[in-house]
Chains A and B, each alone.
Chain A
Amino acid sequence: KAGVTQTPRYLIKTRGQQVTLSCSPISGHRSVSWYQQTPGQGLQFLFEYFSETQRNKGNFPGRFSGRQFSNSRSEMNVSTLELGDSALYLCASSLALAGARDEQFFGPGTRLTVL
């Protein structure tokens, strides 16, 4: 069974630009969660989608948005990039909602660098 895939793996952007990251969950998984990981802040939850609906949201500004398609693939978008958005963005999928008993399966992440 293929794991969670994220594209692209590396991305360099400049301040003010926008970026779209993609995540393909494990086949059959309906929940996709997004996280931002930075050395100083650890793993911070962005949002979770389940069956195309946003079910949970973290404390990030509106510049961060996401969506989920009918095949469970998900995208997240960051508009008007800031230097502080430089981070590893991780996607995780699970059968049920995150927070349930099920394990989350993580992709390798997209490393975003904002110059």
Chain B
Amino acid sequence: AQSVTQLGSHVSVSEGALVLLRCNYSSSVPPYLFWYVQYPNQGLQLLLKYTTGATLVKGINGFEAEFKKSETSFHLTKPSAHMSDAAEYFCAVSDKAGNNRKLIWGLGTSLAVNP
């Protein structure tokens, strides 16, 4: 079955440290991959997405992710964490469902940034 696994429901980093949020997926077709962020008391917003082409994708707020087909991964990184990055991060995969595609969501990773 199609699935998305986000390793680590809670991740804590120090300000200025590398942020690495992991996402692995299973998909029956070439996937479309998304990372969304949810700040407290807000809806989700798109950070970045991969559909086709270059496998290293740059998003907003200095985040980037790399699609690795052989590892079925789409990990999110940021070189230097900022306090404002504290939020919930969701990985989503678009997979085939009948004649359509369907979004499959991970359970989310809560990122805490310590001063």
Taking Cβ atoms with an 8 Å cutoff, the residues of A that contact B are 4, 33, 41-45, 55-56, 90, 92, 97-101, 103-109
Contacts and interface: CB of A to CB of B under 8 A. Distances in A.
Specify which of B32, B36, B45, B103 lies most central, judged by the most chain A CB atoms within 10 Å of its CB: B103
Interface of B: 32, 34, 36, 41-46, 49, 51, 90, 94-95, 97, 100-103, 105-108
Contacts, number: 60
A98 B102 contact: yes
A42 B105 contact: yes
A9 B100 CA distance: 32
Contacts of A97: 100-101
A25 B102 CA distance: 19
16 contacts: A33-B103, A42-B108, A43-B44, A43-B107, A55-B100, A97-B101, A98-B102, A99-B94, A100-B94, A100-B101, A103-B49, A104-B46, A105-B45, A106-B43, A106-B45, A108-B42
